[in-house]
Amino acid sequence: MKWPDAIRYWIAQLLGGTAAALICLSLFDRDIVVTCTPQLGTNLTPGQGILVEAILTFFLVFVCTGRALTNAAGALQVWRLAPPSRSTFCSAAD
């Protein structure tokens, strides 16, 4: 992915997240949105929370990539990396 495409992707993700948050706020009372949002445990610092999130995200991407690159027989299919986007990247069905 080229840098201009990555920047456009990041902007789209941020705008989509902001739009979703505004829609939630318009549909529900602010107190409901705040109390239903997951919070860090009382014994975790923000840095620890980011580290845990990064580790769990790594494992999720690792599993999805492994699933996308292997067929039912377990053979590695490197050619599947070629398409720039695959809508069913982490799908269980081929």
7 with 29, same domain: the answer is yes
d(CA 61, CA 67): 10
HEC letters along 10-45: HHHHHHHHHHHHHHHHHHCCHHHHHHHCCCCCCCCC
Q: Predicted confidence band at 94 (pLDDT cuts at 50, 70, 90)?
A: very low
Give the mean pLDDT of 49-77: 79
53 with 93, same domain: the answer is yes
Give the mean pLDDT of 31-41: 81
Give the mean pLDDT of 67-88: 58
94 with 60, same domain: the answer is yes
- What sign for the dihedral angle of Cα 59, 92, 94, 88? negative
- Please enumerate in sequence order all residues whose Cβ is within 8 A of that of 33, keeping only pairs 6 or more positions apart, or say none: 24, 25
Element (H, E) at 5: helix 3-27
79 with 54, same domain: the answer is yes
27 with 69, same domain: the answer is no
How many structural domains comprise the chain?
2
Q: Is the pTM of this model over 0.85?
A: no
pLDDT of residue 78: 56
Is pLDDT above 90 for 41? no
- Domain holding 11, by residue range, is 1-37
68 with 85, same domain: the answer is yes
Give the mean pLDDT of 22-46: 85
53 with 91, same domain: the answer is yes
